[in-house]
Structure 1
Amino acid sequence: MTSIDTTLAPAAPALRTASLSRRIWKQAFASFEFRLGLGVFLVLALAAAFYPEISGIDPTKMVVRDRLLPPMFFGDNWTIAHPLGTDQIGRDMLVRSLVGLRYSFLIGVSTVAVMLVIGCALGMLAGYYGGKVDAVIMRLTDAQLSIPMIILAISVLGVSRPTIPAIILVLGLSSWPTYARVTRSVVMTERKREYVRAAQVMGASNLRIMLRLLAPLILPPIIFVSVLDVARMMIFESILGFIGLGVQPPTPTFGNIIADGRKYLLNAWWIATLPGVFLGLTLTSINLMGATLERARNRVYGGVS
């Protein structure tokens, strides 16, 4: 007897989804808003990745004689040594802001990755098996949604050391229900279709069906949600840093730089303002890309429905 290949025939829905995804990205890239957001984001990302090393400036090094230098073209500071000025103890504001962008983006992306893994896994199980499994997971999801994320983060980080892994884990564990619900709704619709039944008849295991047939179908809606969630997690990381529950000094992050600079708003406005400008530009660029992708997805799926 010849063995039956359980991976080829039922793969058509995943291939169709991949084709639709390519059309979505193509339409999004044709938009000026997407290209603008992508361009701004790439400039900021490259600057954060390379400028601190190229400049050779230690973001934590104090140079008291250079304290409170204003940005170039403001006041008497016309030197390019500190183009965006220095803070109250002489640390370079450009380098500190870019290093802060590194940590903010790292925490944002890592947190969304934790949310994806937990939410998609639980949503997949709930949607595929249904019944008691679905009921238990959905009640767990409802319970999680009833606890505000910032309250949970403050409660946990307030009694433990707020390290980067701890911040990522707390934010990720408090924000996975959205991904669970999206995944569950897609899987519940697809599990009754003929290609899933065909794979079951041919002997494919439940795990194989979920990973090979159903997982690719949840990627388009999940990707668009996750792009916007990166920006949202960067905001929450900055809030935690501002109230002293984020990454601890002397490591610079947007939150703790702004918190330090609020005391000097009248005579050194740039200390608190510049990190906010970098954060605002980053969030705007991410939101432009995410919103454009969502509009492109609605057009593509609306045209094939």
Structure 2
Amino acid sequence: MDAVDSSLALAPPRVDVTASRSIGRRILGRAARSGGFRIGAVLLAGLVLAAALYPELSGIDPAMRDIRARLLPPLFLGDKWSWAHPLGTDQIGRDMLVRCLVGLRYSLLIGVASVAVTVLIGCALGTVAGYFGGRTDTVIMRITDAQLSIPMIILAIAVLGADRPTIPAIILVLGLSNWPVYARVMRSVTMAERGREYVRAAQVSGATHPRILLTLLVPLLVPPLLFTSVLDVARMMIFESTLGFLGLGVQPPTPTFGSIIADGRKYLLNAWWIATMPGVFLCLTLTAINLIGAAFERARNTIHGGA
């Protein structure tokens, strides 16, 4: 290999990966300076801290029943409220604030974990399809098309309805519902990158395909998708709540937003807070995540538009 090929094999990979990381830092920095990002970050941090600390500090079991305290209204309503239950109690005397915060824990856990599964599967298959092309690309894309043809709710009923749903099973179902979107994006970008000089130089220098994928393409292509995936966390939280409402989510006595709302729909006329409070917490969390995700999107579009 001549001197020109040697220089191509060494220099461009470092430059491109460094540039990608620099763009990621610029996106994060620009987003962090926006008002929407700050409001969303503060709101989300407050909700996460409350969910992590209050149930433990209060010492209240979210499944503990107290018939004598059933259907107590929140502090701001009525004349039968109790300081021990700031957001009231449900039909069997369980504390609504603790149940909503524990539900927030599980909703965030499932939302973040399912997006991680989505990104992992989608990016891996999309990168492989775009890099190798040919029959490999055809097979992966046909699998992708087949997955896109299956509605999420049908997949959930088929997998979760067969047995008692578990948290890993719910995460897997939600993760499998959206990976084709990431696979298609990664495939198209990888196909554009595989002909670049730094990839060809690495191939000429004897680098193996796994090494090229893991050390050159993945570090270059994945960071921009991570910002986009923030918005998918909110969508997965909605899906998780939908499954819980249908009885296909985390099973009782563990509280989740969907299951609490489903239990409270029978009491909308005389105890509306049972179904409303988890909805309020879910809306606040989704608002915070969407503000952060929208700030990332605006920052990325501004940087790429000005590049």
- The answer to whether the Cα contact below 8 Å between 2:70 and 2:90 also exists between their aligned partners in 1 is yes
Q: What's the CA shift string for 1:233-269, capped at 9, x where partnerless? A: 1000100000111111110000000000000000001
1:295 matched to 2:298: yes
Is 2:114–2:175's contact at 8 Å kept on the other side of the alignment? Answer: yes
Between the two proteins, the alignment pairs up a number of residues equal to 302
1:47 corresponds in structure 2 to: 50
| Equivalent-residue separation in structure 2 for 1:127 and 1:279 (angstroms) | 38
Return the offset for 1:155. 2.1
Aligned counterparts of 1:5 and 1:58: Cα–Cα separation in 2: 63
1:11 aligns with 14
Q: Structure 1 stretches of 5 or more lacking a match? A: none
Query: C-alpha distance in 2, partners of 1:7/1:114?
Result: 33
Cα contact 1:6–1:203 (8 A) shared by 2: no
Q: Which residue pairs with 1:119 in the alignment? A: 122
Q: Tell me the CA shift for residue 158 of structure 1.
A: 1.3
Equivalent of 1:76 in 73, 76, 79: 79
Q: Which string of whole-angstrom CA distances, capped at 9 and with x for unpartnered residues, describes residues 75-95 of structure 1?
A: 014532111111010100000
Match of 1:198 among 198, 201, 204: 201
1:218 aligns with 2:218: no
Say whether the 8 Å CA contact 1:149–1:174 is kept in structure 2: yes
Which residue pairs with 1:181 in the alignment? 184
Deviation at 1:11, TM superposition (A): 1.8
1:89 equivalent to 2:113? Answer no
Contact 2:240 2:249 (8 Å CA) reproduced: yes
Question: Which of 27, 37, 41 in structure 1 is aligned with 2:30?
Answer: 27
Cα distance per residue 1:29-64 (max 9 Å; x no partner)? 111011111111000011001110011000000011
Residue of structure 2 equivalent to 1:139: 142
- Give the C-alpha shift of residue 198 in structure 1: 0.9
Cα distance in 2 for partners of 1:67, 1:195 equals 68
CA contact (8 A) 2:63 2:254 kept: yes
Per the normalisation by structure 2, the TM-score is 0.95
Q: CA deviation at 1:185?
A: 1.4
Identify which of 31, 36, 40 aligns with 1:37.
40
Counterparts of 2:14 and 2:197 in 1: how far apart (Å)?
12
Map 1:121-270; keep pairs closer than 5 Å.
121-270=124-273
Shift of 1:175: 1.8
1:167 partner amino acid? I
With 250-259 and 215-224 compared, the bigger mean Cα shift is at: 215-224
d(CA) in 1 for partners of 2:81 and 2:243? 35
Alignment RMSD: 1.6
Is the deviation greater in 90-99 or in 77-86? Answer: 77-86
Relative distance call for 1:28 and 1:154 in structure 2 (3 A) is same
Distance in 2 separating the partners of 1:296 and 1:244: 39
1:284 aligns with 2:284: no
| Residues in 2 aligned to 1:7 and 1:111: alpha-carbon distance in whole angstroms | 37
8 Å contact kept, 1:10–1:198: no
Question: Structure 1 residue 98: deviation in Å?
Answer: 0.2
Within 5 Å, which residues of 2 pair with 1:50-65?
A: 50-65=53-68
Q: Secondary structure at the match of 1:286?
A: helix
User: How far apart are the structure 2 equivalents of 1:156 and 1:19?
Assistant: 42
Q: TM-score, normalised by structure 1?
A: 0.96
Q: Residue in 1 aligned with 2:278?
A: 275
Match of 1:66 in 2: 69
Give the counterpart letter for 1:158 in structure 2: G
